[in-house]
Structures are given as structure tokens and as C-alpha cells.
Amino acid sequence: MSDVPHSPGWWQAGDGRWYPPPPGLTDEMPARPPTPAPDHPPYAFDPTAQGPSTPLPPTPRPTRSRRSSLVIAGLAAMVVGVIILILGISIAVSDHATKTASSSDPKYQMAVEDLLDSELTNLVFIETFWDSYQSFHEEWLAATDAERPAIAERWFSDIDSQVAQFGVDLQQIEDDYANRSYEDGSVPDSIRDLAMNHYKTWQAWASQIVSIAHQWYGDRTSTLSLYGYVTEVQPGLDTNIETTFKALCATLSDTQPTDGSYTQTISDICQNS
């Protein structure tokens, strides 16, 4: 200590005397070691910086690879495809529902009952016709040559009357169907259209069967039965009836009420299809 300072760094205490600086505070003291770098990325704004700071440039966004874009696009297309498929199935189910008859629909009931009655008419006629042929054939085989022309003439007269009455019945059936008021495109309307087509094939059969029978009887070179002869000379007569009847029965099965209330009725109509 001293009454006066001897060099820079001396300091004066409260007693008025001067004291030398503590060790390590002289001009020869080493510089402070640098501050280590931070362990995190620099921020855009550094609150410890002196003076105005300059914002750091924005960090660039990672570039999406082409492969990732293709994968995402593929997944999006798949999702869209699934949605379209679901909508398509829903529309198909809805469309099928609109094409299915209701058991409480009086017009559907009317169409099916008309069909049941008309098919009964067809069945009675065809059984009567072939029964008469069988009876004629048995009688003709047992008769003498002198008796056979009269037997044939009587049989031709019988089938001519049968076919004529059948033609009247078919026309009445078609007229009844034509007079029904069914909405275009409805199930009863579809049934009626197919039924009318079916009965027109029956009319074609009836319009030719008597003529073919006469031809068969006069053809002494043929050993075929009448049924076999019809199949040989006019195969379309029977196959057309079969084809139109199967189409009619397929529609009945596809459009019947889902509660099964008409299952037995349709089976009765189509049992021979």
C-alpha cells in the first residue's frame, strides 16, 4: 500500500491509501478462450447478438422424389377405383331392386294369373292333339286297307276342329294381354311382351300342323311318326316354342318377388320348360 499509486491498476481504498491490483488483473493476463459453437442450428433471430441482426435465409424444403409422387398417384387412383366400384355395385343392386316385382303389385299378380291360365290352355290343347293322334295311329294300324281312308278322314276332321279352336283361344289370349294397362318397362310389361312372342310361335305351329299332317299321311315312303316328321320337315315349329317359353320362364324367375310368394306359381307355369 502507498499514499500514491505507483502504476495503472492500483486502486484507492476507503482509508485513503492506494493498493496494488490483485494477481491476474494486469495487462499481461491471457485472453478469454473463445466461446464454443452452439450444439443446434442457428436461429433466424439471435437474441444474444449485439446490434441489429440480419435474418438467416429460409431453410429449403426437401424435394419430393419422382418415385414418391408416382406411389402417391397410384394410391389415389386405387382409392378412386374402389369408390367407383362401390358406386357401381350400389347402382347395380338398386337397378336390380327396381326390376324385381312386388308381391302386393296387383298388375304383376294379373300378369302372372293371365300367364297361368293361358299356359293351361296350351297344355290342354297339345295333350288333346297328341292323344287324338295316338288314338288315330292305333286304330289305323288295326284297320284293313279299306277302312283306313275313313279313319284318316275322321281324324283330319277332328284335328282341324281342335286347331281352329286353339287358334281362337290364342287370339283371345293375345287380345286380353294387349288390353292390359302396364307401364312401359315394368315387370308386368316385360312378362306380357315375352308372353305375346311365345303365343305367336304357337299360332305359327297351329297354322301349319294340319297341312304337315296331311303331307305326312300322304308320304308313304316315310316311316317316321307324325311328331318325328314335323321335327324333320319343320324343326323350327317346336324349337321356337321351346326357346320363347324358356325366355319367358327366365324372366319370371329373375323378376319374381324376393319374399318367395310366387315361387310355386312360377314352378307350375314353367315345370316343363
Question: What is the model's pLDDT at position 159?
Answer: 97
- Condensed to tens digits (0 to 9), the pLDDT of residues 246-271 reads 999 999 999 999 999 999 999 999 98
Q: What pLDDT does residue 7 have?
A: 63
Reported as a pLDDT band with limits 50, 70 and 90, residue 109 is: very high
Environment class of residue 245 by beta-carbon count within 10 Å: exposed (0-12), middle (13-18) or buried (19+)? buried
Q: What is the mean pLDDT of residues 7-34?
A: 58
Tell me the domain boundaries of the chain: 67-98, 103-270
Spatial separation of the C-alpha atoms in residues 115 and 182, rounded to whole Å: 15
Question: 103-270 in CATH: which number?
Answer: 1.20.58
Angle in degrees, 0-180, between the axes of helices 106-142 and 226-233, rounded to the nearest 10 = 120
Q: How confident is the model at residue 22 (pLDDT cuts 50, 70, 90)?
A: low
Please give the pLDDT value at position 271. Answer: 82
- How much is the average pLDDT of 58-87? 47
Q: How confident is the model at residue 87 (pLDDT cuts 50, 70, 90)?
A: very low
- Averaged pLDDT for residues 24-36: 47
Q: DSSP H helical segments within the chain, as ranges?
A: 66-98, 106-142, 148-178, 187-218, 226-233, 235-255, 263-270
Q: What is the mean pLDDT of the chain?
A: 77
pLDDT digits (tens, 9 = 90+) for 179-223: 999 999 999 999 999 999 999 999 999 999 999 999 999 998 889
Please, are residues 210 and 159 in contact by the beta-carbon 8 Å criterion? yes
